[in-house]
């Protein structure tokens, strides 16, 4: 078997019992990594909505049944309320304390491996651009804007932007989970991103949107778009979101 395949299989089947004999950063008494990224003070921030009076709810059975990957989107704006709703359901922090973060998605040992970024292509009231979702405050912080972004995002997604109104970029800060789970962390980090994308998929159905999960992307180009270093923080999952045709 190819070495790379063998090694990568090991990553998703770590021997949990070995963890008891490992000197993890936590066992060494090292300082716990920050639970959240602090947005740059110089950047513009935007408070998102926490109530959604214009969104008509659907039943869980209904959204599970209607979900399909969607790769063609109607060219209409997503409302600010709809964008707020997607972030609220898929990424928000419900509560946190010194050693634990509780989100709408499960996070291994409450270590919160993830930070989410969005590319807004066509959303009412907000300029097109790349934004960090400030998860503990339910805000967006503008990272960069500019007309050239549309092409750059499309290139980084290997031409899979497909006119989507929004792109979600789920990034991992592995040290947060490695702190507690050491060599077992990486499987959990990947699973966590899957949970977020599933919440995004189901909440998108509520607002008559569809999602296409994307793993086929250019790692370096996506990370560079988000201004992250690709070592201590890197993208692990992307998703385009757009309106269904009526």
213 is an interface residue for ligand FMN by CB under 6 A = yes
12 is an interface residue for ligand FMN by CB under 6 A = no
216 is an interface residue for ligand FMN by CB under 6 A = yes
Taking CB under 6 A as the criterion, the residue among 12, 68, 76, 151 binding ligand FMN is 68
Identify which range of 35-43, 67-75, 84-92, 128-136 contacts ligand FMN by CB under 6 A.
Answer: 67-75
- Widest distance between CA atoms in the chain: 57
Please tell me the distance from the alpha carbon of residue 92 to that of residue 114, in angstroms, as a whole number.
11
Instruction: Name the nearest CA neighbour of 151 among 225, 63, 208.
Output: 225
Q: Shortest gap between Cβ of 239 and ligand FMN (angstroms)?
A: 9
Taking CB under 6 A as the criterion, the residue among 43, 66, 124, 160 binding ligand FMN is 160
Identify which range of 64-72, 94-102, 142-150, 177-185 contacts ligand FMN by CB under 6 A.
Answer: 64-72
What is the DSSP secondary structure assignment for residue 144, as one 8-state letter?
E
Q: Shortest gap between Cβ of 126 and ligand FMN (angstroms)?
A: 26
Phi, psi of 83 (to 5 degrees): -60, -45
Please tell me the distance from the alpha carbon of residue 210 to that of residue 78, in angstroms, as a whole number.
12
Strands (E), the chain: 45-47, 93-97, 100-103, 114-120, 129-134, 139-145, 166-172, 209-214, 234-243
Please tell me the distance from the alpha carbon of residue 171 to that of residue 157, in angstroms, as a whole number.
15
Question: Which residue number, 27 or 68, has a Cβ lying nearer to ligand FMN?
Answer: 68
101 is an interface residue for ligand FMN by CB under 6 A = no
212 is an interface residue for ligand FMN by CB under 6 A = yes
- Cβ neighbours for 244, distance < 8 A, ≥ 6 positions apart: 70, 73, 74, 208, 209, 210
Query: Contacts with ligand FMN: how many residues (CB under 6 A)?
Result: 9
Question: Which residue number, 152 or 238, has a Cβ lying nearer to ligand FMN?
Answer: 238
8 Å CB contact between 75 and 123: no
69 is an interface residue for ligand FMN by CB under 6 A = yes
215 is an interface residue for ligand FMN by CB under 6 A = yes
Question: Which residue number, 137 or 162, has a Cβ lying nearer to ligand FMN?
Answer: 162
Catalog residues that contact ligand FMN under the rule CB under 6 A. 68-69, 71, 160, 212-216
């Amino acid at each position: 078997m190819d070495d790379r395949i063998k090694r990568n299989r090991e990553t998703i089947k770590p021997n949990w019992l070995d963890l008891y004999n490992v000197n993890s950063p936590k066992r060494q008494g090292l300082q716990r990594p920050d639970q959240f990224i602090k947005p740059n003070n110089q950047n513009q921030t935007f408070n998102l909505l926490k109530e959604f009076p214009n969104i008509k709810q659907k039943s869980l059975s209904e959204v599970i049944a209607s979900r399909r990957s969607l790769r063609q989107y109607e060219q209409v704006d997503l409302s600010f309320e709809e964008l707020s709703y997607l972030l609220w359901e898929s990424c928000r922090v419900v509560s946190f304390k010194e050693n634990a973060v509780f989100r709408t998605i499960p996070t291994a040992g409450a270590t919160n491996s993830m930070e989410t970024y969005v590319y807004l292509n066509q959303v009412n009231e907000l300029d097109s651009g790349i934004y960090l979702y400030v998860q503990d405050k339910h805000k967006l912080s503008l990272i960069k804007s500019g007309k050239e972004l549309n092409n750059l995002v499309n290139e980084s997604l290997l031409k899979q932007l497909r006119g989507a109104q929004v792109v979600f970029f789920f990034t991992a800060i592995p040290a947060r989970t490695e702190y507690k789970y050491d060599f077992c962390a990486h499987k959990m980090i990947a699973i966590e991103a899957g949970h977020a994308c599933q919440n995004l998929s189901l909440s998108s159905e509520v607002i008559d949107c569809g999602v296409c999960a994307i793993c086929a992307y250019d790692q370096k180009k996506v990370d560079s778009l988000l201004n992250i270093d690709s070592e201590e923080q890197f993208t692990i999952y992307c998703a385009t979101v757009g309106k269904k045709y009526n």
